[in-house]
Amino acid sequence: MGKAAKRSYTGTPSTNKQVDAAKHLGSVFKFNTDLGQHILKNPLVAQGIVDKAQLRPSDTVLEVGPGTGNLTVRILEQVRKAYAVEMDPRMAAELTKRVRGTDGERKLEILLGDFIKTDLPYFDVCISNTPYQISSPLVFKLINQPRPPRVAVLMFQREFAMRLVARPGDALYCRLSANVQMWANVVHIMKVSKNNFRPPPQVESSVVRLEIKNPRPPIEFNEWDGLLRIVFVRKNKTIAAGFKSSSVIDILEKNYKTFLAMNDEMVDDTKGSMTQTVKSKIETVLQETGLGEKRAGKCDQTDFLKLLYAFHQVGIHFS
């Protein structure tokens, strides 16, 4: 699909309207690039994104950042219901006008507001030409939905997308990679040139397909995220180095006191004794797991799970 997107496109009158609409809209009002408004104008790319979602007639779809509706109209052709979350009232008005009088009008409900702050209805599939500034919050909001979608097909800035799919040892492998890959299977499916947008963004884009694991891994999200925050502070330093920070020790000591209190165990408040106890436990775990001298950028899920389990065994928690 990536190569197809680069071909010249003559298309049918209806699909040519998509490009013309983007040009017309750009002359009517100025796109707000601070909101990540870069309208996808290439019909082949738009159709390719929708096709990758493998929609079903019974599906309810959530679209984030519909803009003028170039993805929306294709979604509406294939599903029972679609919600479109749009922050810009001008874009919402354009989308409303575009579907008025069509079969898709009764299927579409526009939710005007900030996606991150919006209470979402149930949906089977998410499709998004993602505003760049909400890329990470969007992914984690989808992952943490009480009833997560079956699949999400999401367009991001190229580097962010490649971080999502990076593997241990890759230059772009980071906390985001390790965190998201615990909860979801992510694959890169399409490159999208910046020339396919109006106005063109400064960087290239990519589309990923994200399938949230069901059932969820039996660990607490905040515990997993808390551990990764520490070990990836400097991913090319040793894991042990991340635990030497006084701020990290303070947090883990506080959590350890809470753990003792919840388990009706005595808390020794002697000055400095609790700090030394926590430091000793950390050192023991790092030695016994053999992970203290490893680097987070080279470790995989099994390594991090081993570390998390070992810390929990001695009462050290991360949230």
Q: Which residues are annotated as a binding site for S-adenosyl-L-methionine?
A: 38, 40, 65, 86, 114, 129
Distance CA 5, CA 315 (A): 53
Q: Please answer whether residues 261 and 208 qualify as being in contact, where contact means their C-beta atoms are separated by less than 8 angstroms.
A: no
C-alpha 34: how far from chain center: 19
Whether the link from the prior residue into 137 is cis, omega within 30° of 0, is: no
**Phi, then psi, of 128 in degrees rounded to 5:** -150, 130
For 274, half-sphere exposure in the C-beta direction (CA atoms, 13 angstrom radius) is 20
| Binding-site residues from annotation | 38, 40, 65, 86, 114, 129
Q: Please answer whether residues 184 and 213 qualify as being in contact, where contact means their C-beta atoms are separated by less than 8 angstroms.
A: yes
Burial class (CB in 10 A: 0-12, 13-18, 19+), 100: exposed
Distance CA 169, CA 160 (A): 17
Q: DSSP string covering 238-306, please? A: BHHHHTT-HHHHHHHHHHHHHHHHHTTPPP--STTHHHHHHHHHHHHHHHHHT-TTSBGGG--HHHHHH
Distance CA 273, CA 293 (A): 26
Q: Please answer whether residues 108 and 99 qualify as being in contact, where contact means their C-beta atoms are separated by less than 8 angstroms.
A: yes
Q: Please answer whether residues 53 and 153 qualify as being in contact, where contact means their C-beta atoms are separated by less than 8 angstroms.
A: yes
